[in-house]
Amino acid sequence: MLYSSIGYYSLIFGLIISFPIILFSIRNFRNEEVLDYKIITFSFIQLFLVVLSFLGLVFSFIYSDFSNETVFNNSHTTKPLFYKISGTWGNHEGSLLLWLVVLTLFIFLFLIKSKDLLKKYRVLTVLFQQIIIIGFFVFLIKSSNPFNYIFPVPNEGLGLNPILQDPALAIHPPVLYLGYVGSSIIFSSVLAATTLNYISKIWAIHIKNWVLVSWIFLTLGILLGSIWAYYELGWGGFWFWDPVENVSLMPWLALTTLLHCILVLEKRSNLSSWAIILSIATFTLSMCGTFLVRSGILNSVHTFANDPERGLFILTFLFVLIFLSLFIFFIFHKSDDQNSSSFFLLSKETSILVNNWFMMYFLSVVLIGTVYPIFLDVIASQKISVGPPFYHKLIIPFLIPFLIFMAIGPQLKWIKSGLEEKLHLVILFIISLLISFFIVKNLDIDFLVNTILIGSAFYLFFITIRDFFLKGFKNIQQNIAHFGFSLLILSILFNNIFSSELITNLKVGESFKNDRFEIIFNDLKKFEEKNYTSFKGNFSIRENETEDELEPELRVYNQPNIITSEADIKTTFFTDKFITMNSVQNEEYFNIRYQVKPFMLWIWISVLLISLGGLISLFKKKYEK
């Protein structure tokens, strides 16, 4: 009760603090040449109050204060401490409070880190950020209050969804939110810079750090979510085109495109319109993700809320922000861009511009595949689901030229490149196609498309390796990120081509054998844990004269009363062996699903390499300064 009261009143006072910040900002914008220290002071006070509010919710969970409705709905006394704490943001109200923590943290850090920039730009950024912060304060207090009181006080809570009780998912939302909410600073900054006609090389150098920070956290957040889904949901894959997975992918695509635009703006003071539009789009997509998930519109394992009022508030707030940003763009933006046709055909700018269009196409495909079923349901009351075949058919053909341009682009010079000394590009492309040809030749798959696709991925792979040897530490961050991306595409392709699966029903003591595997169901043991009962199976898997023991389990949770299937995965350098079991109702039999998933480890490593490229870029700039 005490912690909830502290949290609630801290939230109220945090909202009140927004108004003096806005007042001081407006006054400071008109008069003095130096930023008023009161703005920084009050921003810190606001951050302190929001953090205090969040800690109030954390301690309410730790001490199982079931007078708090959020704690009652998402916790239980038998839940381990770690999951009590992570349960704070494993729900609708707590996750939005975490959003608010990051919003206030980032604007305070922005003020500290932008001391050398134009004062009016800093003040305007604060004003735009406060509009977003106030919107989230009002949303939390009005329709998503994490501190609602229950009377009479229940003795027990309802518990947290068991599939959310996992270490990877415990840290997945905070990391992902750092990426999502980081786009708010980019959004506020670009609106301020556009209003003041401050979109310039200086602005690009400054905002690039924020783009990198947001992009790194968003990449790692998506990775953690993918790893969690792989071993926790028991589907045996790394990406399922689930609507909420798509919601996180869309801002990542926009942010990646923005990062490359900022590079051109930094070097050549060009593509400023692209930079503005992508900055607005990235934040809009992050907010759209919040709307789609928090409103309960999307049917997904990620969905927390099902309240039309909440969805309507976010949608209205989003439309206000979009209208404001478009108004500023069309009224204040004075484009200094040269016409794109003035770009020389063989130049780094042209390759970035072409790949920007490809990225926007990929983004459009994902957006349509995610949103179209919603509109169809609203307009015609027809429920459809858009699955992997839709995305694969529309994305894969365009992935081939995208990879080729991605390989060639870094080899070109700014402004203008010649054809001299480019013979190696042709030779490496031919070698890549030949290797791909020999791999695909004896496989029962689409010969032409896969040969060119794998060849294109190998092409990027070989060119980045060549650059490591020839260029050393020059553009090391770019080489690592592009190498990671080529490794990711190759790993995904080989994972898809060489995966195998076996599904059968077995009871203890039985076995199943085909021309490749033999599965023996040796034993089933029961274990009592703190908040669930575990039924652990013991299986022997025989393949090619090798034998492995795997132990998947079924967990029966006491609160809420849910049965989950936990996969057992044996990971080696090149292959994952993945097994799950599910009970067959009213039978002694269990449904067994055994999969061999090649190159899974390399998928995770490749994404880490992509993130490492961004991290090196971030710290390399600081070191050079």
Q: What is the pLDDT of residues 573-609, one digit of tens each?
A: 899 999 999 888 777 889 999 999 999 999 999 999 9
Between 18-22, 227-231, 589-593, the lowest mean confidence (pLDDT) is in 227-231
| Contacts of residue 568, Cβ cutoff 8 Å, sequence gap at least 6 | 550, 551, 552, 553, 578, 579, 580
Residue with tokens 């305070």: 108
Contact 72, 154 (CB under 8 A): yes
Rounded distance, CA 114 to CA 104, Å?
16
Note the Cα 339 to chain centre separation in Å: 33
Q: Outline where DSSP puts E strands in 418-530.
A: 500-506, 511-513, 518-528
- Identify the CA nearest to 187 among candidates 278, 272, 271, 266: 278
Mean pLDDT value of segment 353-369: 93
| pLDDT tens-place string over residues 457-497 | 999 999 999 888 887 777 888 899 999 999 999 999 999 88
Would you kindly state where each structural domain of the chain is located, as residue ranges?
Answer: 1-165, 500-600
Model-level pTM?
0.90
Q: What is the pLDDT of residue 305?
A: 45
Position with higher pLDDT, 342 vs 330: 330
Q: What is the pLDDT of residue 352?
A: 87
Radius of gyration of the chain (CA): 26
Helix (H) / strand (E) element for 430: namely: helix 423-441
Q: Dig out the tokens for 34 from the structure.
A: 């130096």
Burial class (CB in 10 A: 0-12, 13-18, 19+), 445: exposed
Position with higher pLDDT, 92 vs 418: 92
